[in-house]
Structure 1
């Protein structure tokens, strides 16, 4: 064990003895019943599952979520989680068994008790607080200790997430018959993370334990991370990256689906459904020639009824007009679709709300245009047909993006819908923009097409 882990385990032994005195096993043993929920089953579905974690602090990051509101956390987790993990270690993670009890009473998903299990008393305690699964770390336990705890867990029908962090532990997990194997991407010696650990160990585990469920743990922050590891693992355990976010729901959507913008919103009912389904942005078009043009008053009605990240789309509009609308609507970005030059952008920038980005649209025909304007946060690339860039419903040749230098500054648009959304994600643009191919008529979004699009984004 590393020095850090040794200290944690030594402290855990002291804690267990204190807990035994404060809450003797005989005081609750006769009331314990088996779990009726299966972590293995929850993670054995067609698509990769997510175990989302309730974690207030950690040794590597210190205090992660100062305001630890479990109701807020669970409202974000429940629609998307296959299972939920609760930290109960108090000294190093500021966890509590009361958190475990609170969560298990409020969710349908199986709940994992994450702690440093070294003693049978802890297994009984996990079930007392209604856990459905426990974590057993092979970096902490020898084979005999593991088998003792696993046998007791099995008597309560508690699933076991067996954690490995190197090749030797992976071999032990297979020999021990582990059914759910978690690959910890964190180096327990220096606490750094490297997703290559999953890439290194998962093929070995898949070959030698074909029926085991493989979970990748630690260091998973983005949709790119998830898509990188999804071919190798059946699920992901994610904690710190979500707990550090002010808006957990938005962070989950970005992780599961990537950043998706649905443009051309004209109806409040569409905005309501899109806000719930998985998008990160919605676009409001202020251009008289557009079939999806919206008035400021109608836009205000939508924004006030459905708070979200809205992008305003403008074509050669007066700077003052954009400034007024962006302030009134608290836009997250303004998207410029005309011939707005550097002087225009420089004049506009200081008049926007704090944090409001400028996205400049560029039409693509046979080659990529120059992307060199200053003060532009992102460039939206769309197919140009004749003099029209955008709104054509056509895609340009995406192979032009293969050697692009800064995909993080790109918004990919034009002709994207359910049939090619997965291919679009492979282009590595930071945001994907959809519009006409998720409509039943201009400005009227089609709920079935949107549902299909987001379902296909989750087919990994």
Structure 2
């Protein structure tokens, strides 16, 4: 399968990177064995593998050849390419795609290299760092566009700008969010902004087991703890490994709170509403249907910047439905499964529904709005190990 075709597969893909050092961090893994690491990435589910072939990152063409000999996964040759010779070398060394940095290339050079790559049977990842470069990539017709959160001059990371730019990539292109992704919440933020895949390097190479870290980053479902009202409960959810934190901004709810608390970078905040979303600093909004005589309707939608990104499937307010999971399993798209979940049933729910995220609230409580920290830990552990 070609690089571009692999990245177009459903769900969030991952380009897992092999590098021994970086200009921002220095030495990362100087003794890295590209063949062994590439094989581990392939087993962990990498969509593609990026291999640094530039000496500034401790790499060379032999690293690409070693990776090629050990895996069938599409390989991206990553370096500072500007000549026909380097593209031909990349092809000979086993690359399926090459990186083209708009920071270093003008439009004529980029177009020429894209055409040459196509003739060699190579795909291209055209990388942008700011709005102007993104507009150039789009105008050049680049099929695969990456947005790097790292400023290569200062090495500073700006995830907010990255997400804004990723959201502007046309739907008929493959969008890649590059750099600055260290946990599932950050990967999910890129996914919901429109990224087809994330490119992760340092976070993997710094991990004791790069392949295990990759598997964690791309694993689903995400885990949400909702109905949070206290800092200590939020801290318990974060420590347990929850990815999403829900805050109910509905006065009629027994779990109502007046504000969305600040969450750590390992989590995304979700403001929960009925009828329509209000104005907060939350990362996402969850809007339930209205229902006569009830605090909320049964189902709802997850919004990013006002746009639907997932469907929430819940039980009726204070009600039950024995066929809830089977109904949910028949719904297509990203599903957030809620309704009576806790440690004792979340694994089975995941097996039946295969949701994008699971959401628990009332069964994790001592009383409405007050969480039982042991229940939180058990629920998150069960969901993440399913």
TM-score, L = length of structure 1: 0.53
- Counterpart of 1:174? 138
Q: CA 1:87 to 1:174, structure 2 compared with 1: closer, same or farther past 3 Å?
A: same
Q: How far off its partner does 1:251 sit?
A: 1.6
CA positional deviation for 1:378: 4.9
Partner of 2:186: 225
| Residue-by-residue CA offset, 1:255-283 (whole Å, 9 max, x unaligned) | 2237989xxxxxxxxxxxxxxxxxxxxxx
Residue in 1 aligned with 2:174? 213
Aligned counterparts of 2:228 and 2:6: Cα–Cα separation in 1: 46
> Contact 1:48–1:230 at 8 Å: present in 2 too?
yes
Q: CA deviation at 1:402?
A: 7.2
Task: Tell me how far apart the structure 2 counterparts of residues 134 and 233 of structure 1 sit (CA, whole Å).
Answer: 19
> Which whole-Å deviations, capped at 9, do the CAs of 1:37-79 have from their partners, x for residues lacking one?
4111111112121111111111111111133133442243113
* Contact 2:185 2:265 survives alignment (8 Å): no
Structure 1 gap segments, 5+ residues each: 1-36, 262-363, 382-395, 426-431, 440-448
Tell me if 1:239 matches 2:201.
yes
- Output the aligned Cα RMSD: 4.0
Classify 1:405/1:202 alpha carbon distance in 2 versus 1 (closer, same or farther; 3 Å). closer
CA distance in 2, matches of 1:409, 1:131: 34
What SS is found at the alignment partner of 1:101?
A: helix
Residue by residue, what CA displacement relative to the aligned partner does 1:374-432 show, whole Å, maximum 9, x if unpaired? x9x95799xxxxxxxxxxxxxx987679756667999xxxx9x976996479xxxxxx9
Between Structure 1 and Structure 2, whose CA radius of gyration is higher?
Answer: 1
Alpha-carbon distance between aligned partners in 2 of 1:402 and 1:256, rounded to the nearest angstrom: 30
Secondary structure of the residue aligned to 1:204 is coil
Q: Is the 8 A contact 2:229 2:256 kept in 1?
A: no
Do structure 1's residue 198 and structure 2's residue 162 form an aligned pair?
yes
The structural deviation recorded for 1:250 is: 3.1
Q: Which residue of 2 aligns with 1:251?
A: 213
Q: Give the conservation status (yes or no) of the 8 Å contact 2:96–2:123.
A: yes
Residues 239, 409 of structure 1: alpha-carbon distance in 2 compared, 3 angstrom cutoff:
closer
Partner-residue secondary structure (3-state), 2:100: strand
User: Which structure has more RCO (C-alpha within 8 Å, separation ≥ 6)?
Assistant: 2
Identify unmatched segments of 5+ residues in structure 2: 243-252, 268-313, 315-323, 359-386
The aligned residue for residue 382 of structure 2 is none
Q: Does 1:186 align with 2:145?
A: no
Is contact 1:260-1:433 (8 Å) kept?
Answer: no
Structure 2 counterpart of 1:152, from 81, 93, 116: 116
| 8 Å contact kept, 1:153–1:160 | yes
Contact 1:48 1:236 in 2 (8 A): yes
Farther off after superposition, 153-162 or 73-82: 73-82
Q: Is the 8 A contact 1:257 1:457 kept in 2?
A: no
The reply to whether residue 99 of structure 1 matches residue 63 of structure 2 is yes
Rate the CA distance shift 1:247–1:422 in 2: closer, same or farther, 3 A: farther
The residue that corresponds to 2:87 in the other structure is: 123
Aligned mates of 1:409, 1:51 — CA distance in 2: 20
* CA separation of 1:88 and 1:380: change in aligned 2, threshold 3 A: closer
Change in Cα spacing, 1:123 to 1:378, as seen in structure 2 (3 Å) is closer
Alpha-carbon distance in structure 1 between the residues aligned to 2:231 and 2:148: 43
Higher helix share: 1
